[in-house]
Structure 1
C-alpha cells in the first residue's frame, strides 16, 4: 500500500487491502524523480473520494494543475460560505507528512512561547504579542519569559500590522525580544531584551495541576493544553502513553486528597487524540463504566459500509474506560474553562460528559468543532505531503451533535489582553470565577479597572497543527478531534 493512516486505538477501523487499493495505485517500487503537482493532486483526490466526510460533495471536475495546497482547499465542502456553520473549516494539508505527524503529537520547532496578538492603539499600525503561556523547560522559559509579558519588538524592530508574521516566525531561529509594560491601560516600551533560539521541542500537555481547600471544598485544578497520549518518535507508527499516565497519576492524587470539585482548564486546548479525550473523560465521569457511551461517530457511506460488513454493529461507538483513578463518585459537576481557542477534543469532553453530570463552562464561546479527521500519508515516501481531512462527525450518548456554533459559556469571563495573572493564582479571572461558583468566595473583583480587553488580531495557536482545531486518529493508535 502506498497510503498510511493515523487511527486511534479505540476507534481503529478494519480496512482491507482491497479497500485501500481503491484509494491509491499500488507501486511495488517507488519510481525515482520528483513528484509533479498532478501526481500529488491525484493521490489527494483518490483519498478524499474514499475517506472525506463530504465525499459526495467533491467538485465534479477539480483542477489538478493547481499547487497541492490550493488544490486541497478547492476540494473542501462549502469552505468559503461563512453563513454555513457546518461547512468544512478544519481539513488541512501540510507539505511534510513527517512534520504533520510530529506537530499533532506536540513536537515542533519553537522558542516555547504562545501568544495572542493585538493592535497597540487605535491607529491599528503597531502590534504587540501578549504571552499567554510559556512551555516549561523551553528556551523561552530558560530566558525568564513568562505569561503576561508583552513583546513589542523583535530584533530591535517594532512589530506592525505588516511585519509581525515574518518577525515572529521568520527564517532565523534566533530572536531578540523587546518588551513593553502596561500601566492604566497604556503600553510603554522598556529597555529589557531577551534572546532565545528555537529548538525542536516536545510539549508536555499538562501545564499545571494543584489543589485548593476553600470554603470547605477541596478543589482539583488541572491545565491541559493538548490531547497527546505520549511521546512522539520519528518513524514510529504509534506513541507511548507517557502523558495519559501522567493524567492518571494526577487524578490518583486528587482522589487521595479527597477532591470533591474539579476545574478543568481547557482554555488553550485546540484538541488532539480522541483516545486521550476518552482517557480524561473516564477519569471524571460520574456513574460511568465500560457499558456507557462516551461518543459515537458518523462516517461517509464507503467507510460505513466497509466497517458494517467487517466489524458489525458498534464499530463507530466509543464507550468510557474503567479507570481506578476516576473521581466521579465524589463529583456532582465539573467546571471547564473555555475560550475561542477551546476546540475539538476539548469540546468532545464537554459534550460527552453532559449526559452524566453537570458541566459548567466559564469563559467565552468555544470553536464549535463537532467533526474529526485522520492523518493520511504516502508510506512509500515518494509523496511527501500529508493530509488531515475531516472524516467523521461525533455525537454524545444522547445523540447530541449540534454544536458547530460552539458552546456558549454558562458564565462569561473574558481574559484581559495584557498583564495576565500567573496560572494557578486564585485571583486569575477565570479560575477566580470557578472558585466563586464552587465556594461562594470571591477572590478578586470582577472586571477590575486595570484589565484591558480588546479585539484579538490573531494567535500563535493558529499556527499549531490544523490551526489548532484538532480531533484526529492514528493507525492502530491515533484518532484526532
Structure 2
C-alpha cells in the first residue's frame, strides 16, 4: 500500500510496511557538523539543500522540531545535520543520533545491501594496557571469501601494526581506514599479555558482497536439540538482485531445524547492526510461538502529518506489520529463545527481541544493546539531477503489547563480555554460546564460565560503527530503515 503526500512542489511516496530499513548505520554523533560558511552557497548546493529541507519537512519523524529558519548557506552535509532533532545533545537518549546523508545515493543503497569496499574484517579496538596510547585490534570475524579470508586472517587474530606503523590513539583511525592495501602486523596473547610477532598479512580492500548468514549448527546434548544461527545483517539478497537468496537460506536453515526436531534456539545477533524489516519479519515468523498472519509483529508511528494523511485515507491498518504464516516455524517446539547480544546489536535486531517478547520468553546474553527503536527510509532524487542520498528517521516502532521502551538498549538477562582471546564461533567452549548452552542443559554438562584472560580498555569497534556507535572514528556508519 502506498500513500502519496504532496508538499509544495514535492510529491512524496511513503511505502507503509514495505522496504523499510531498520539498521544502526548512522552519522557518528562525535563528529560536529561543519560551521556555517559565510556568503551565498553554490547554486548546486542551494538546490540540494532545498531538496533536503522539503523532504525532511514532509516525512522526518521529528519534522515539528526542524528549525524554523535553517541556515541554507551550509554545505549539504552540514545543512542536513543542522536539521536533526537535538543531534549534538548526548544527554538526551531520545535525540536523533541515527539519520545520515551521503553524497552518492548509489553508494548508500549498495551499503544497505551489504556491498561495500572492504578487506572483510570486523574488529574491536583496545588500548594495549590501561592508560596506554597504543592500540590493539582484535578480529571479531572474517567474511568468508573476502580478501582478509583469502590472506588467512581469522577470528581471534590481533593486529598491532598497519603498514609498518604501530597503532596509537592518534593514528589508528586513519591507518585502519584510509589505505587500500594493508600490511597487518600480527600479535598474540602470551602469558596474559599482548606480544608482537614477526607475522605480516597483506590484504587489499575490494568491493565485496557479504553473505549475512555466517554460520548455522545443531548440537544434540541429551534430549536437547539446540539450533544455533549466527546472522550478521538483515539483507534479503545481494545488491541489485531481485532474488532474496539470503532470506531463502534462512528458510532452508529453519526447515532443517524443524526436520531435525530442534527444541532450543540460540540466535547470535551480537554483530548484527540491523537491516531490512522484510527480513526481520521472515526470521521472527520462523521463531515465534503460536503466530500466524493475524498476529502483530510490530506497528509504526510516523509524524503527525503522515499519520493524519493515513487516517484521512483510511489506511491506518497499514501501520501494523503482522507475522507471516511460515511452514518452517519451530515455535511449537520452543519454550523460549536465547539471543546473544552486544553494543553492536541494533535496530532490526532489537526489533526481533521486542517483537518476540509478547509471544515467548526472550533470554538475552551478553552486553546492553545499542538502543534503536526508530526506523528510516532511503530518499534519493528520482530525476537523477541530485546525486545525494539520505536516510532520515521517519517512524518509531512498537510491539504487540505497545512497548517501545528500549532507546537506551536492552539490558541482558545474563551479563557477559567477550574475552580478549576468542574461540571460533560455533565452538561449544566459545564464551557466549557456552553461556547459552549452560542455561539449556544445566551446569552438569556445561557451565557459565567467568570472563577469562586480560580485560583491556575497549575504545570501539567496526560493528558499533555500523550500528551508529558514538565513540567511533568514522564520520558515517550505516543505519537501517
TM normalised by structure 2 equals 0.89
> Separation in 2 of the partners of 1:23 and 1:70?
25
Name the residue aligned to 1:393. 396
Name the residue aligned to 2:183. 176
Q: Does 1:213 pair with 2:220?
A: yes
Q: Structure 1 residues 122 and 465 mapped into 2: Cα distance closer, same or farther (>3 Å)?
A: closer
Q: CA deviation at 1:87?
A: 0.8
Name the residue aligned to 2:154. 146
Q: CA deviation at 1:119?
A: 1.0
**Are the aligned partners of 2:70 and 2:82 in contact in 1 as well (CA < 8 Å)?**
yes
> Separation in 2 of the partners of 1:272 and 1:211?
25
Name the residue aligned to 1:192. 199
Name the residue aligned to 1:278. 281
Q: RMSD between aligned alpha carbons?
A: 1.8
Counterpart of 1:160 in 2: which secondary structure?
coil
Q: Structure 1 residues 448 and 415 mapped into 2: Cα distance closer, same or farther (>3 Å)?
A: closer
Q: CA deviation at 1:228?
A: 0.3
**Are the aligned partners of 1:372 and 1:391 in contact in 2 as well (CA < 8 Å)?**
yes
> Separation in 1 of the partners of 2:451 and 2:103?
46
Q: CA deviation at 1:94?
A: 1.1
Q: CA deviation at 1:182?
A: 1.0
Q: CA deviation at 1:410?
A: 0.4
Name the residue aligned to 2:441. 439
| Aligned partner of 1:295 among 290, 298, 303 | 298
Name the residue aligned to 1:62. 70
**Are the aligned partners of 1:103 and 1:465 in contact in 2 as well (CA < 8 Å)?**
no
Report the more deviating stretch, 345-354 or 176-185. 176-185
Q: How does 1:67-216 map to 2 (within 5 A)?
A: 67-170=75-178, 172-216=179-223
> Separation in 2 of the partners of 1:465 and 1:378?
26
Q: Does 1:304 pair with 2:331?
A: no
In structure 2, list runs of 5 or more residues that go unmatched: 13-41, 470-476
Name the residue aligned to 2:474. none
Name the residue aligned to 1:29. none
> Separation in 2 of the partners of 1:381 and 1:388?
17
Q: CA deviation at 1:281?
A: 0.2
Q: Structure 1 residues 458 and 465 mapped into 2: Cα distance closer, same or farther (>3 Å)?
A: closer
> Separation in 1 of the partners of 2:296 and 2:448?
41
Name the residue aligned to 1:22. 10
> Separation in 1 of the partners of 2:112 and 2:457?
28
> Separation in 2 of the partners of 1:38 and 1:299?
28
Q: CA deviation at 1:312?
A: 2.3
> Separation in 2 of the partners of 1:364 and 1:376?
33
Q: Structure 1 residues 445 and 280 mapped into 2: Cα distance closer, same or farther (>3 Å)?
A: closer
Q: Structure 1 residues 67 and 327 mapped into 2: Cα distance closer, same or farther (>3 Å)?
A: same
Residues 165-215 of structure 1, C-alpha deviations (whole Å, 9 max, x = no match): 111111x32111101111233111100011111111111001100000113
Counterpart of 1:307 in 2: which secondary structure?
helix
Q: CA deviation at 1:454?
A: 3.0
**Are the aligned partners of 1:369 and 1:469 in contact in 2 as well (CA < 8 Å)?**
no
Name the residue aligned to 1:410. 413
Name the residue aligned to 1:471. 480
Name the residue aligned to 2:21. none
Residues 205-262 of structure 1, C-alpha deviations (whole Å, 9 max, x = no match): 01100000113200000000000011112xxxx7431111110000000001100000
> Separation in 2 of the partners of 1:353 and 1:62?
41
TM normalised by structure 1 equals 0.89
| Aligned partner of 1:375 among 378, 382, 386 | 378
